[in-house]
């Protein structure tokens, strides 16, 4: 859904705060400010990302030195060099969970979900996929060296408009899965149990988005963002989207009462990255 609103020291949501944006604040690395509509994971203060709109995991980051309103990008990843493509070896293994093919304007990629470690998030995501909810939506928040967020805004008259979602789900971030490069997580607001349709794909390792524990002191909060799958094919498409030029766009986001209101959002691709179709391509 970043793709949310984050309450972090360095992340200050501007305009309408969206759950997705909040959740996506970059907790792992240096966090930047960015507010976006939609559901985005919330990043810890100083590295929290928020999503403007309903559900969102929006890390806050700044582009071209400018602060982002939607998500906060935690400290820059220790190693900005992209990790080994997780799809390379994973695609050769027997699927352990359902696989979802996303056909986008930038190419196609495949996700493998984890119903064992994240049953609630997987069931929720599959429900949206089977309903055709993601068809025609856009990646409404993109922060290079952090994540790309989508799943909450559709194009209406050329402008992003936040969709109505189902009820929020319980946060499964304590499932042991980490927000490493190539993984997909649920975006949310500062409320841990607020994720709906918005999701984000980590383009670098983001330990700041994992639950804060003695073993992971860099975590933004003890709640973290729930990982429920990974990219097993087409990571190069994700990397193409992450490099898209972004800026501020006026989007139609939903206020607490549910009505749509025009609000400026940051880190929005200036050229729409559209999800043409999402469908289940295989099951275990």
pLDDT tens-digit readout, 133-153: 999 999 999 999 999 999 999
Phi, psi (rounded to 5 degrees) for 167 = -65, 150
Residues in contact with 49: Cβ distance below 8 Å, sequence separation at least 6, in sequence order:
2, 4, 6, 11, 21, 22, 23, 24, 25, 26, 27, 31, 34, 40, 41, 42, 43, 57, 58, 59, 60, 61, 70, 71, 72, 73, 74, 143, 146, 147, 209
Q: Measured between alpha carbons, how far is 59 from 74 in angstroms, rounded to an integer?
A: 8
**Closest to 111 in 3D by CA, of 135, 90, 127:** 90
pLDDT at 93: 54
Backbone CA torsion sign across 181, 36, 54, 244: negative
Band (pLDDT 50/70/90 cuts) for residue 119 is very high
Section 217-236 average pLDDT: 97
Rounded to a whole number, what is the largest CA-CA distance in the chain? 49
Band (pLDDT 50/70/90 cuts) for residue 95 is low
Residues in contact with 196: Cβ distance below 8 Å, sequence separation at least 6, in sequence order:
1, 19, 39, 54, 55, 124, 152, 165, 166, 167, 168, 169
What domains lie within the chain, and their CATH numbers?
59-76+85-282 (2.40.100.10)
For residue 189 the two structure tokens come to: 């607001």
For residue 277 the two structure tokens come to: 């179709």
Asked if 60 and 17 count as a contact pair (C-beta separation under 8 A), the reply is no
Residue 275, CB-side half-sphere exposure with 13 Å CA sphere: 29
Q: Measured between alpha carbons, how far is 98 from 112 in angstroms, rounded to an integer?
A: 6
Say yes or no to pLDDT of 270 above 80: yes
pLDDT tens-digit readout, 19-62: 443 334 433 333 333 333 344 443 432 233 334 444 444 433 33
Residues in contact with 16: Cβ distance below 8 Å, sequence separation at least 6, in sequence order:
5, 35, 37, 52, 53, 253, 254, 255, 261, 263
pLDDT tens-digit readout, 152-211: 999 999 899 999 999 999 999 999 999 999 999 999 999 999 999 999 999 999 999 999
| Residue of 99 and 94 predicted with greater confidence | 99
pLDDT at 127: 98
Q: Across all residues in the chain, what is the average pLDDT?
A: 77
Residues in contact with 170: Cβ distance below 8 Å, sequence separation at least 6, in sequence order:
120, 193
Query: Which CA distances in Å does 130 have to 51, 103, 263, 279, 281?
Result: 24, 15, 30, 7, 11
């Amino acid at each position: 859904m970043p793709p949310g609103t984050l309450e972090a020291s360095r992340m200050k949501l501007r305009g309408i705060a969206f759950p997705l944006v909040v959740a996506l604040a970059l907790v792992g690395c240096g966090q930047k400010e960015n507010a976006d509509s939609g559901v985005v994971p919330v990043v810890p203060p100083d590295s929290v990302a928020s999503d403007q709109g309903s559900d969102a995991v929006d890390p806050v980051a700044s582009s071209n030195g400018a602060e982002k309103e939607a998500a906060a990008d935690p400290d820059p990843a220790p190693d900005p060099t992209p990790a080994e493509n997780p799809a390379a070896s994973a695609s050769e293994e027997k699927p352990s969970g359902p696989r979802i093919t996303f056909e986008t304007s930038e190419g196609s990629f495949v996700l493998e979900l984890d119903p064992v470690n994240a049953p609630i998030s997987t069931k929720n995501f599959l429900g949206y996929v089977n309903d055709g909810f993601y068809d025609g939506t856009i990646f409404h928040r993109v922060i290079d060296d952090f994540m790309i967020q989508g799943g909450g805004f559709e194009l209406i008259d050329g402008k992003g408009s936040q969709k109505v979602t189902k009820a929020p789900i319980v946060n499964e971030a304590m499932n042991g899965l980490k927000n490493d490069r190539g993984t997909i997580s649920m975006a949310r607001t500062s409320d841990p149990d607020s994720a709906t349709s918005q999701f984000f794909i980590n383009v670098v390792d983001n330990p700041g988005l994992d639950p804060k524990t003695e073993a992971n002191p860099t975590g933004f909060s003890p709640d973290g963002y729930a990982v429920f799958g990974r990219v097993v094919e087409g990571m190069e498409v994700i990397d193409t989207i992450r490099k898209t030029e972004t800026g501020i766009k006026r989007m139609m986001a939903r206020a607490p009462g549910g009505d749509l209101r025009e609000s400026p959002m940051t880190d929005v691709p200036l050229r729409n990255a559209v999800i043409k179709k999402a469908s289940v391509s295989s099951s275990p």
